Structure 1
Amino acid sequence: MEQRALAATSPNSGAVVRGSWRRKSRNQLGHASWLDVVEAALWCFWHGDDLASGEVLLGVLLGRDERVRLVYGLLTGAFYLSDRTD
């Protein structure tokens, strides 16, 4: 799907698609709405050097919010397991 099609849905989702989470600090992230959840998971994935460091960021950032952990798990699974040929 094209970025333009997603961005047209709403200004907030468009900002996330364009990478607004890259410019935010840890204190600017939330997890109240589904868009906040996706943004926080992307932030942890972007700032982590590997799977373990992203999980540490996730724990420090949001504690036990299972929704963010779920989205983060989907991102890391798609990224780290895409090269496997088992």
Structure 2
Amino acid sequence: MAASCHEVEVPGKPTETGTALLEAATGSIQGFGPVNQIHQHLCAFHFYAGDMTRQVEAHHFCAHLNEDMRQCLIFDGPDAGARLIGVDSNM
């Protein structure tokens, strides 16, 4: 069975109100040019290295840099709570 971002708790205490407010304020004045280039979402299952009996659901969010190069951020789910689990560049 595939692992999901909802099955594992992230260590650490919950985000405090002051931190959330700071993130909201800075997010409104900062640029996200590289992230805004992402325009493709692919979902696949990948096997664990060294244990072909286990697999993980992987959501690739990709940007095409040119006709031959694609860069992807890989998350363990499609939702806002998903964790970054990899980065991939393909030619």
- TM category, shorter: under 0.3
Higher normalized strand content (fraction of residues): 2
Higher relative contact order, chain-length normalized (CA < 8 Å, sep 6+): 2
Higher normalized helix content (fraction of residues): 1
The structure having more radius of gyration, on CA atoms, is: 2
After TM superposition, the score normalised by the length of structure 2 is 0.25
After TM superposition, the score normalised by the length of structure 1 is 0.26
